[in-house]
Chain A
Amino acid sequence: MSFQTDEHAKAYWKENLRLLVTLLVIWFAVSFGFGILLVEPLNAIKIFGFKLGFWFAQQGSIYVFVILIFVYVKKMKALDRKYNVHEDDE
């Protein structure tokens, strides 16, 4: 499992970083953003018995975290295949 060329290795790393940054931006938005910084404006919105900001702090952020990790798993698998560096043949 090694890259065919140096360009491949660089391109792989670049795509890897782009994915990481995207996911971490969402990670920051749901926890620090919706759950803490914007909690008061969001609390004005009510869904069932939940104030939205409070819901993000105690429930919503956790659900989004789970989804983030599975998206990461899926995207990285695709990336490993694209550059032919997956370990399935070992």
Chain B
Amino acid sequence: MDIQGWTFLLVGLSFALYIGIAIWARAGSTKEFYVAGGGVPPVANGMATAADWMSAASFISMAGLISFMGYDGGVYLMGWTGGYVLLALCLAPYLRKFGKFTVPDFIGDRYYSQTARTVAVICAIFVSFTYVAGQMRGVGVVFSRFLEVDIVTGVLLGMCVVFFYAVLGGMKGITYTQVAQYCVLIFAYLVPAVFISMLMTGNPVPQLGFGDTLADGSGTYLLDKLNGLSTELGFTEYTSGNKSMIDVFFITFALMVGTAGLPHVIVRFFTVPKVADARRSAGWALVFIAILYTTAPAVASFARVNMIETINGSDGQGVVYEEAPSWISNWQQTGLIGWEDKNGDGRMF
């Protein structure tokens, strides 16, 4: 079977799994539809929250962004996980204790005002639509690459699948589907990370390999090598970044506060049986998030070293075109990248 065949088989199987779970866990009452009957165990809820949270941005693009930004990429790592701490300590347990389903309910009752409730509803809808727009674009990008369709078709296809299991299963269906999604997601993320780490540093744990020496026997630390390569090419050191301290500080702060207010994550804490469970499930969710978020910066630095070495060549003079990685000729066909040999030496620079 060729790659396309395998892709269709695996994507088909995972859809069948998600829809199967939706049918098995379909909602039978209003409470089941909105908050899964309030009976989801904390570890499962933590996994579902983690999958909910780490969607398109974390999975598709975060490692790439960090690879590009170096130290500055830490704003996403600290911002998103740190905001989660705010949510778990200052919001989730209190909202769960209150016992209604949504934040607008809380605002309306707390301030004895229908107007306040309406304002909160408008904010929630605005936030949700903005967020969904980004996610759907991500779905479109993934589907268009896997299934070789255009992005709009990809978005529509993804929407149909989500619509089917959301309407049928409600929050209960979504929760158990997301538990399955988390397992698929983390497996897919870790397998290449572990093997790249073993290849580059000989250390099977990416989080440690990232700070280990290179496997070529030179005894140089990976990050030192990366800093050296970056400065040679005229960039700042990978571990220093370009942004000023005040930018990094406030971008991180903005990302933290924004993360603490995500409506689809807040609603997750209404699905566990007790307030104590809301606290515990927040802890588990961050454990599951941290597995991916501590792997991402490792993948980022491996990728940066690999890219500089395969494009600039080991001597820094540009690699010979015939020996360049295959993605270059693939991207040339689709017009994403162009190469013209102006000085006729056959090298990429």
Given contacts A31-B82, A48-B212, A86-B276, contact A36 B294 (CB under 8 A): no
- Cα A32 to Cα B253 in complex, Å, equals 9
Which chain B residues lie closer than 8 Å to A66 at the CB level? 283, 286-287, 290
B293: nearest chain-A partner, CB-CB: A62
Which chain A residues lie closer than 8 Å to B207 at the CB level? 59
Given contacts A32-B249, A32-B252, A87-B274, contact A65 B74 (CB under 8 A): no
- Cα A36 to Cα B240 in complex, Å, equals 11
Say whether B279 contacts A65, CB under 8 Å.
no
- Cα A66 to Cα B84 in complex, Å, equals 10
Say whether A77 contacts B276, CB under 8 Å.
yes
Q: Mark A29-69, 1 if CB is under 8 A from B, else 0.
A: 00110011101000100011111001101110111011011
Which of B78, B210, B290, B293 gathers most chain A CB within 10 Å?
Answer: B78
Say whether A69 contacts B85, CB under 8 Å.
yes
Say whether B290 contacts A76, CB under 8 Å.
no
Say whether A63 contacts B211, CB under 8 Å.
no
- Cα A54 to Cα B274 in complex, Å, equals 39
Judged by a CB distance under 8 angstroms, whether A11 is at the interface is no
Count of chain A residues near B, Cβ 8 A: 37
Residue from B71, B279, B293 within 8 A of A57 (CB atoms): B71
Binds A, one of B51-59, B128-136, B219-227, B337-345: B219-227
Say whether A65 contacts B223, CB under 8 Å.
no
Which chain B residues lie closer than 8 Å to A15 at the CB level? none
- Cα A24 to Cα B78 in complex, Å, equals 14
Which chain B residues lie closer than 8 Å to A72 at the CB level? 88-89, 279, 283
B235 to chain A, nearest CB (A): 15
A68: nearest chain-B partner, CB-CB: B85
Residue from A43, A48, A59, A69 within 8 A of B297 (CB atoms): A59
B305 to chain A, nearest CB (A): 12
Judged by a CB distance under 8 angstroms, whether A27 is at the interface is yes
Judged by a CB distance under 8 angstroms, whether A9 is at the interface is no
Residue from B85, B210, B253 within 8 A of A27 (CB atoms): B85
Which chain A residues lie closer than 8 Å to B49 at the CB level? none
A75: nearest chain-B partner, CB-CB: B279
Say whether B252 contacts A62, CB under 8 Å.
no
Judged by a CB distance under 8 angstroms, whether B170 is at the interface is no
Which chain B residues lie closer than 8 Å to A48 at the CB level? 211-212, 221
- Cα A49 to Cα B210 in complex, Å, equals 8
Which chain B residues lie closer than 8 Å to A54 at the CB level? 71, 74, 223, 239
3 residue pairs, one from A and one from B, having the closest CB atoms: A49-B221, A57-B74, A49-B211
* A interface, CB within 8 angstroms of B: 20, 23-24, 27, 31-32, 35-37, 39, 43, 47-51, 54-55, 57-59, 61-63, 65-66, 68-70, 72-73, 76-77, 80, 86-87, 90
Q: A39-B71, A49-B221 are in contact. List 17 more A-B contacts (CB 8 A).
A: A20-B89, A36-B78, A36-B245, A37-B245, A49-B211, A49-B213, A49-B223, A50-B210, A51-B239, A54-B239, A58-B66, A61-B77, A65-B81, A66-B287, A69-B88, A69-B279, A69-B286
8 A-B interface contacts by CB (under 8 A): A36-B245, A47-B211, A49-B224, A55-B211, A57-B77, A58-B297, A72-B89, A87-B276
